[in-house]
A and B are shown apart, each in its own frame.
Chain A
Amino acid sequence: MPALRFDDPCATARDEATPRLARGLELRPTLLGFERDEPTLYVRSAPPWVGTTRDSIAASLVMLPRMLGIKRVLVVSESRVTDPSIDDPVARDAQAERGVLVARAEQHGDERPVMSGQLLTWQRAGSHEVVWDPPIELDDGGPWDPVLTHAFSSADGNGPGRNGRGRSGTSEGGPGGSRSSRSRSGGSVRGAGEPGSVVYGLSRLGVVVAVAPGWRERYGLDRPVDPRGVRREDRRRAQAYRSAFRPTTVEAAS
Chain B
Amino acid sequence: MTDPDRPDPEGCGSSDGRGSFDPFDWVRELALADLDAGDVSARLLLAFDDPATAPEVQLIARSESPHDGSSPLSEMACAITARPPRRAVWVLPGRLRDLEDEGAAPLGRCLVVTCLDRCTGGWQLYARTIPFHPDGDGLLLAAASDIEVELSPVASLMDDAARLVTGHDLHRTLAVLTLWGHTVAARRSMEDGVLGATLPVPTGSDRHRVRRIAAELEARHTPAAAASSTRRRPAVPTAIPDGWSPACPL
Contact = CB atoms under 8 A, between A and B. Distances in A.
A90 interface: no
Interface stretch (B52-60, B109-117, B176-184, B240-248): B240-248
A23 B250 contact: no
Interface string B1-27: 000000000010101110000000000
A209 B13 contact: no
A42 interface: yes
A200 interface: yes
A216 interface: yes
B119 to A, nearest CB: 11
Interface string A15-50: 000011011111000000000000100101011011
Interface in B218-250: 219-220, 230-231, 233-250
Interface in A208-242: 208-213, 216, 221-222, 224-225, 230, 232-234, 236-238, 241
A201 B148 CA distance: 21
A238 B230 contact: no
Given A23-B146, A234-B250, A50 B243 contact: no
Contacts of A142: none
A233 B220 contact: yes
A23 B247 contact: no
A178 interface: no
Interface string B163-184: 0000000000000000000000
Nearest to B12: A127
A204 B233 CA distance: 7
B146 A208 contact: no
A47 B244 contact: no
Contacts of B236: 208
Which range holds the interface residue count of chain B? 35 or more
B15 A23 contact: yes
A237 B216 contact: yes
A211 B244 CA distance: 6
B241 A208 contact: no
A203 interface: yes
Describe A's contact surface by its main secondary structure: mixed
Contacts of B150: 47, 206
Given A200-B250, A208-B236, A233-B216, A49 B245 contact: no
Contact of B247 (A127, A204, A209, A238): A209
A62 interface: no
B245 A216 contact: yes
A1 B248 contact: no
B105 interface: no
Contact of A200 (B151, B238, B248): B248
Contact of B241 (A51, A202, A210, A234): A210
B216 A236 contact: yes
Contact of A241 (B17, B247, B249): B249
Nearest to A43: B247
A200 B248 CA distance: 5
Contacts of B145: 24
B239 A20 contact: yes
A1 B220 CA distance: 30
B250 A209 contact: no
A25 B148 contact: yes
Contacts of B147: 25
B146 A24 contact: yes
B99 interface: yes
Given A51-B231, A208-B237, 4 more contacts: A25-B146, A202-B248, A212-B244, A241-B249
11 contacts: A4-B241, A23-B146, A25-B148, A47-B148, A49-B230, A50-B231, A199-B249, A200-B249, A205-B235, A208-B236, A221-B247
Top 10 A-B pairs, shortest CB-CB distance = A233-B219, A210-B240, A203-B248, A209-B247, A23-B146, A210-B244, A203-B235, A199-B247, A49-B99, A47-B150
Interface of A: 1, 4, 19-20, 22-26, 39, 42, 44, 46-47, 49-51, 127-128, 196, 199-200, 202-213, 216, 221-222, 224-225, 230, 232-234, 236-238, 241
